[in-house]
Every structure is written in C-alpha cells, then in structure tokens.
C-alpha cells in the first residue's frame, strides 16, 4: 500500500508517521482524521491538500454524477480538511495550508470542463484564504503543476462520443505520461516544500510556467490549441 510505504520511508529517516486512510469527501472521516492526528502528535503545523480526480471528455457527455465526483473530491475534499483543522490553527495563531491545484486552475482547458471548474474553484479558495488568514498568522499557498507522471490514471474518468473517442482520450494521456520531460511527483513535493519553507502564495511547477505565460500572452490562440489538442474524435467541434 502506497500510504504504508510512504510511512515506512518517513520512519526510516528517524521521524514519526501515522497513517489513517480517509475519504476526504466525507466530513466525518476528516474530523476523525484530524482528531486522531492531534491526539498522536499534539499539534499540527502544516496541512497539505493533494487529493484529486482527473476527468476528460466532451462536456455534454458528462453525467451529473461525473460532475459531483470531480467537485466533491477536488474542491469539497479540500474544504472539509480546512474546516476541520482551521480552529486548531486559529487557536495557535500559526499554521500553513498548501492546496495542490493544477495549471487547469489557472488556464481554462477545453474538454476538461468539470476538472478545470473544480481547480479554478481551488484557486479562488486558496487566494481568498491567503488574503484573510495571513494577518492571523496562517499562511495559505497553492501549487500548480502540469500533468504529473503518477498513478492518477487508475481513478481518472474518461467520457467520449463513442468507444473510439473514449479510448483515444485514454491513449492520449498514456502517451503524454511516457514523455521523459513530464514532471514527477518529486517535483511537486519540492514545490510544496518551497511553498512551506518560503511562504510562497503560488508555485507553478516546471512546464506549468510556460503554459501560464503562453496563455497570458496569447489567450485566444492557447484556447484554440487546447481545443484542438483535446478534441480528438469530437469532430463536431
């Protein structure tokens, strides 16, 4: 299990680790997580929100359940953990919250509409919290990676006009993940540490810097690029 493997590595460096599998979509499970962590460690200094679900396809092909899955995990999961832990941070007048978002939360991407919607919401959540909580001693920062070479495909949702379109979307992401320059989880971890250590409000990871700069300079052109990139078998677009 990945969680136990991570805990084992932490302990190998002489540090404590407590693993509590939690569905962050369930506020009661999140409250239990925070309570057990505080009982074990006494205090919590940093909250890192990193749960996420990738979802791709023509917007008309998504069911309401697809929308809920994306927003319940990508947005409400973050709200639940922040809501549960914020009283502890406010009482101590210190703490750090890091929300791992996506370049899809800074740049609108066609054919990733539920995903991009949830990530833009995380960006708004992060920036608003940063403005309000900074005077209270609580730092809030956001991390914005591009696609990461990880196991996210195991849970990703793909929808298509037909079976060929569905498969083409999976194959497209599989091919991108094989590109050597695609960022790795370690790159995101470094960005998180950078945000915590230097109290950065936003950290773009690797190629996300180019995506953001290109969109800022040529928004119309980049919208066209994203649309053509993810259109695939949706020939009506």
Q: Would you say the pTM of this structure is higher than 0.75?
A: yes
Do residue 20 and residue 64 come from a single domain? no
Q: Each residue of 167-194: pLDDT tens digit? A: 888 888 888 788 777 889 999 999 999 9
CA distance linking residue 96 with residue 142, whole number of Å: 11
| Greater model confidence, 143 or 5 | 143
Q: What is the pLDDT of residue 180?
A: 75
Sign of CA dihedral 26, 112, 191, 152: positive
Q: What is the pLDDT of residue 164?
A: 86
Count the domains in the chain: 2
Do residue 64 and residue 133 come from a single domain? yes
Of 54, 78, 111, 115, the active-site residue reads: 115
Residue 115 annotated in active site: yes
Do residue 116 and residue 204 come from a single domain? yes
Q: What is the pLDDT of residue 182?
A: 83
Q: Each residue of 71-90: pLDDT tens digit? A: 999 999 999 999 999 999 99
4: pLDDT confidence band, cut at 50, 70 and 90?
A: confident
Answer whether 123's CB lies under 8 Å from 105's CB: yes
Q: Which residues contact 9 (CB under 8 A, 6 or more apart)?
A: none
- The CATH number covering residue 211 comes to 3.40.50.720
Do residue 128 and residue 72 come from a single domain? yes
| Greater model confidence, 107 or 236 | 107
Any idea what the Cα angle at residue 111 is, between residues 101 and 59, rounded to 5°?
Answer: 110
Residue 184 placed within a domain: yes
Do residue 27 and residue 105 come from a single domain? no
Q: What is the pLDDT of residue 120?
A: 98
Residue 33 placed within a domain: yes
Do residue 212 and residue 187 come from a single domain? yes
Residue 163 placed within a domain: yes
Residue 237 placed within a domain: no
Do residue 36 and residue 60 come from a single domain? no
Do residue 11 and residue 107 come from a single domain? no
Residue 236 placed within a domain: no
Do residue 68 and residue 58 come from a single domain? yes
Do residue 33 and residue 126 come from a single domain? no
236: pLDDT confidence band, cut at 50, 70 and 90?
A: low
Residue 101 placed within a domain: yes
Main-chain dihedrals φ then ψ at residue 158, nearest 5 degrees: -125, 135
State mean pLDDT over 10-15: 91
State mean pLDDT over 6-15: 90
Extract the tokens encoding 78: 């973050």
Residue 112 placed within a domain: yes
Residue 130 placed within a domain: yes
Give the three-class secondary structure for 44: coil
Residue 152 has pLDDT above 60, yes or no: yes
* Summary mean pLDDT of the chain: 93
Do residue 30 and residue 47 come from a single domain? no
State mean pLDDT over 99-125: 96
* Domain around 62: 43-231
Do residue 31 and residue 89 come from a single domain? no
CA distance linking residue 142 with residue 49, whole number of Å: 10
Nearest to 80 by CA among 141, 34, 128, 42: 34
Q: What is the pLDDT of residue 116?
A: 97
Q: Each residue of 16-26: pLDDT tens digit? A: 999 999 999 99
Sign of CA dihedral 182, 186, 192, 195: negative
Q: What is the pLDDT of residue 67?
A: 98
């Amino acid at each position: 299990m990945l969680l136990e493997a991570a805990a084992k590595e932490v302990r190998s460096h002489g540090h404590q680790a407590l693993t509590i599998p939690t569905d962050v979509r369930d506020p009661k499970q999140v409250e239990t997580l925070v309570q057990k962590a505080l009982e074990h460690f006494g205090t919590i200094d940093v909250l890192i929100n990193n749960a996420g679900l990738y979802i791709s396809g023509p917007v008309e092909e998504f069911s309401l359940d697809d929308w809920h899955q994306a927003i319940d995990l990508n947005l409400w999961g973050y709200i639940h953990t922040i809501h549960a832990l914020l009283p502890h941070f406010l009482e101590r007048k210190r703490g750090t919250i890091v929300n791992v978002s996506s370049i899809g939360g800074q740049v609108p991407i066609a054919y990733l509409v539920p995903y991009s919607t949830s990530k833009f919401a995380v960006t708004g959540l992060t920036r608003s919290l940063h403005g309000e909580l900074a005077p209270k001693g609580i730092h809030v920062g956001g991390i914005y990676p591009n696609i990461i070479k990880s196991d996210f495909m195991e849970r990703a949702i793909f929808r298509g006009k037909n079976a060929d379109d569905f498969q083409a979307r999976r194959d497209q992401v599989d091919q991108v993940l094989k590109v050597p320059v695609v960022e790795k989880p370690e790159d995101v971890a470094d960005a998180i540490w950078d945000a915590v250590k230097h109290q950065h409000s936003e950290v773009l990871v690797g190629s996300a810097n180019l995506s953001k700069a290109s969109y800022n300079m040529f928004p119309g052109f980049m919208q066209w690029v994203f649309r053509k990139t993810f259109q695939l078998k949706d020939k009506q677009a």
